[in-house]
Amino acid sequence: MKTDQRYIQPHNVNEAMTLIQKLFNEYRHAPLTDVLLKYHNNLIYRLKSDIYKAAEQENNSQQLSDLNQMIQIMEAWTKIRLNNQPFEGKMKNFKLVTNNSPKFKRHLHKIKGPLNHQASRH
């Protein structure tokens, strides 16, 4: 039995960044505990150390800028949460996305005829 089955081994930098982004979005609203803070700081350390070195080896400037932006977002999360403030937004495509825009409800009504034809009223 392999011992590495418990851990996910990303094959490249983009896969590692996507995995960390997914994990961050899962716990971003969780209550702040010592365990969560230690876990979060470990993810930041991984981004700054081995993932950053691998990104430099791949020599992709867009990926390096995304990685730096991701590190800044995660460090900002730490500061905001340590001040007992709610963290608004989530990470999408390695950028912070806030949903401050209003959402409009769509009311569908069926037009007489086949079920496929529906119109939206605003």
Kindly tell me if the per-residue pLDDT of 108 is higher than 70: no
Report yes or no: 10 and 16 within 8 Å, Cβ to Cβ: yes
Residue linked to tokens 């949903």: 99
Token output for 35:
């365990």
Token output for 67:
């990685």
Measured over the CA atoms of residue 50, residue 53, residue 57 and residue 62, the dihedral's sign is: positive
Which contacts of 80-85 are long-range, i.e. CB under 8 A and separated by 24 or more positions? 81/32, 82/32
Q: pTM of this prediction?
A: 0.73
Q: Report d(CA 65, CA 62) in Å as an integer.
A: 5
pLDDT value for 11 = 82
Least confident of 5-9, 10-14, 31-35, 74-78: 5-9
